[in-house]
């Protein structure tokens, strides 16, 4: 017997030989967005940091950028997130359930989640300064999301149960109290993403053994209709708060593989198609009113790949694995930017990569990692950002002019000057011989920041992003 975890406090469904039939197959459908946590896993999550007591924001500080190969990436607090959002930043606000949160089985208090939202932020960095804030709530239904965005619109703290009763997400009290901050984020957002709906069908679970398949289908249709109405209200509130933000709403993948049997798989696929049709219809309604709402077709990306994209086989859990979250990110990125980009480091052909203004640095003088810092040949970086550089062989000093800023960087010195003001660095520039040539290598982060550029590092991609 295999235990399929599909709900918070609703028990476990025993699934014999991965072969759901009849009513049980329908119940398992579309729970992919659920907070599918076993009770022991919920206990481990209780101690999880609340990401600023409001939202999980995985951003790297400048100090962390200086150690690009270190696997630990600390999380920013909500207050820090707000201070880092500047005019011109592309802001992603993610709403939804555990799929948005990036949940996987086995996470605990020390886990740093890496789901589709974090990947989407990385994709944004190929296009300019990008920040993301994640308001994913474990176990959230479409009705709960409707209540949540209504509370956000009001901008006043509410009780957690006013959003959705008995949610096991340990962050609920903080999320319910942080509606004013969430409102500010949504009003500033350039992109709003939504995953919701998987938990809606869980309400049918108590009746699964007492009704016929036809009765359960009818019940599911009722739930889907209610889902549609809830989502319409959610989108209405969001477009009221921010008429210009692009909103991308995902449909629901179904996680049960063809091993379930041809009839069951066909039933599940058909039901997933109904969900997609509802989402597409709602997006079309808003688009007809010139509202920037579109669909991310996640279900199609998972069809036939359920075993490789979820934990269904290895952990008996319907949530995406890392490959699954990568696919979800690809679908969203295609909807937003029309592409999903990777770097040499991401694909394994380089130890780490540097992307400047959307272009990966390609040079015969590769970046150097020294004492945990990234150094680049000065000519490469100045040409990439459009700056001017000058070398004084007498003083062994490099000067870089970018806009109204001038940085003077002596070789081997722990002190540089920016517009005449001294500054200390633990990463002195150095000369390196490459192919018989002497090249001046400068600390990337120090130089970019001193010139007023934005520097972000993705530990998962092993990539440094530099943007204006």
- For the segment 100-155, what is each residue's pLDDT rounded down to a tens digit? 999 999 987 678 999 999 999 999 999 999 999 999 999 999 999 999 999 999 99
User: What's the confidence (pLDDT) of residue 20?
Assistant: 39
Could you tell me which of 53, 76, 320, 92 has the C-alpha nearest to residue 171?
53
Beta bridge partners of 131: 91
What pLDDT does residue 76 have? 32
Query: What pLDDT is attached to residue 55?
Result: 37
pLDDT in tens, 212-256: 777 767 877 888 999 999 999 999 999 999 999 999 999 999 998
Domain extents in the chain: 90-337, 353-467
Dihedral pair phi/psi, residue 264, rounded to 5°: -65, -40
Read off the DSSP letter of residue 55.
Answer: -
pLDDT tens column, 367-409 = 999 888 999 999 999 999 999 999 999 999 999 999 999 999 9
pLDDT attached to residue 94: 99
3-class SS string, 410-443: EECCCEEEECCEEEECCCCEEEEEECCEEEEEEE
Find tokens 């049960």 and name the residue: 256
Q: How far apart are CA 134 and CA 140, in angstroms?
A: 14
Q: What angle do CA 330, 332, 336 make, to 5 degrees?
A: 115
Rg of the chain (C-alpha set): 25
Ramachandran quadrant class, 19 (left: phi over 0; alpha: psi -120 to 50; beta: rest): beta
CATH 3.30.70.3450 for the 90-337 domain, yes or no: no
pLDDT: which is higher, 204 or 394? 394
Q: How confident is the model at residue 86 (pLDDT cuts 50, 70, 90)?
A: low
Question: How far apart (Å, rounded) are the C-alpha atoms in residues 153 and 300?
Answer: 33
- CA triplet 52, 95, 34: central angle to 5 degrees? 100
What's the pLDDT score for residue 95?
A: 99
CATH class of 353-467: alpha beta
Q: Which residue has the higher pLDDT, 85 or 164?
A: 164
Q: How far is CA 409 from the centre of its chain?
A: 37
* Average pLDDT value for the chain: 83
In this predicted structure, the answer to whether residue 191 has a pLDDT above a threshold of 90 is yes
Rounded Cα distance between 291 and 117, Å, is 22
Of all residues in the chain, what percent carry a pLDDT higher than 90?
A: 66
Question: Which residue stretches of 202-291 are H helix?
Answer: 213-241, 262-288
Distance from C-alpha of 85 to C-alpha of 372, rounded to nearest angstrom: 27
Query: Residue 134 in contact with residue 194, Cβ under 8 Å?
Result: no
Sign, Cα dihedral of 336, 341, 346, 351: negative
Select from 247, 244, 234 the least CA-distant residue to 149. 234
pLDDT per residue over 245-299, tens digit each? Answer: 999 999 999 998 998 788 878 888 888 899 999 999 999 999 999 999 999 999 9
pLDDT of residue 211: 66
Q: Cα separations (Å) of 459 from 66, 242, 407, 445?
A: 11, 32, 28, 15
**Would you tell me the crossing angle of helices 262-288 and 213-241 to the nearest 10 degrees?**
30
Backbone angles phi, psi at 237, to 5 degrees: -65, -45
Point out the least confidently predicted range of 29-38, 101-110, 224-233, 325-334: 29-38
Give the least confident one: 29-38, 97-106, 136-145, 175-184. 29-38
Whether residue 374 contacts residue 361, with contact meaning beta carbons closer than 8 Å, is answered with: no
**Kind plus residue range of the DSSP H or E element containing 458:** strand 454-458
Q: What is the pLDDT of residue 266?
A: 85
Can you give the pTM of this predicted structure?
A: 0.84
Q: What average pLDDT does this structure show over 198-211?
A: 69
């Amino acid at each position: 017997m295999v235990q399929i975890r599909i709900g918070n406090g609703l028990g476990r469904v025993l699934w014999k030989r991965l072969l759901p039939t009849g009513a049980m197959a329908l119940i398992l459908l579309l729970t992919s967005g659920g907070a599918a946590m076993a009770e022991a896993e919920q206990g481990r999550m209780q101690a999880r940091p609340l990401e600023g007591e409001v939202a999980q924001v995985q951003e790297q500080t400048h100090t962390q950028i200086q150690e690009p190969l270190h696997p630990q990436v600390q999380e920013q607090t909500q207050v820090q997130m707000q201070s880092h959002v500047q005019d011109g930043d592309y802001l992603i606000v993610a709403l939804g359930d555990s799929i948005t949160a990036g949940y996987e089985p086995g996470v605990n208090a020390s886990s740093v989640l890496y789901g589709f939202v974090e990947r989407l932020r990385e994709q944004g960095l190929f296009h300019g300064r990008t920040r993301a804030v994640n308001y994913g709530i474990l176990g959230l239904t479409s009705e709960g999301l409707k209540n949540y965005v209504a509370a956000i619109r009001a901008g006043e703290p509410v009780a957690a149960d006013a959003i959705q009763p008995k949610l096991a997400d340990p962050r609920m009290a903080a999320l319910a109290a942080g509606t004013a901050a969430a409102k500010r984020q949504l009003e500033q957002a350039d992109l709003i993403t939504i995953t919701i709906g998987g938990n809606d069908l869980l309400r049918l679970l108590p009746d699964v053994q007492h009704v016929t398949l036809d009765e359960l289908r009818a019940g599911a249709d009722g739930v889907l209709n209610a889902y549609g109405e809830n989502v319409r209200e959610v989108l209405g509130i969001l477009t009221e708060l921010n008429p210009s933000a692009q909103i991308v709403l995902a449909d629901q993948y179904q996680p049960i593989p063809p091993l379930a049997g041809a009839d069951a798989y066909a039933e599940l696929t058909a039901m997933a198609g109904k969900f997609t049709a509802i989402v597409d219809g709602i997006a079309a309604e808003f688009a007809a009113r010139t509202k920037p709402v579109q669909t991310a077709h996640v279900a199609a990306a998972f069809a036939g790949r359920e075993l490789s994209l979820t934990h269904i086989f290895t952990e008996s859990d319907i949530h995406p694995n890392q490959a699954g979250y990568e696919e979800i990110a690809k679908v969203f990125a295609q909807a937003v930017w029309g592409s999903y980009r990777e770097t040499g480091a991401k694909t394994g052909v380089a130890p780490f990569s540097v992307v400047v203004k959307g272009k990966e640095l390609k040079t015969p003088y590769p970046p150097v990692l020294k004492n945990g810092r990234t150094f680049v040949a000065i000519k490469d970086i100045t040409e990439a950002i459009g700056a001017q550089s000058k070398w004084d062989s007498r003083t062994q000093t490099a000067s870089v002019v970018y806009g109204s800023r001038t940085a003077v960087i002596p070789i081997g010195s722990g002190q540089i000057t920016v517009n005449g003001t001294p500054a200390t660095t633990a990463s002195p520039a150095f000369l390196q011989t490459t192919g018989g040539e002497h090249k001046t290598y400068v600390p990337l982060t120090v130089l970019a920041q001193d010139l007023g550029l934005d520097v972000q590092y993705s530990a998962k991609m092993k990539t440094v992003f530099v943007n204006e």
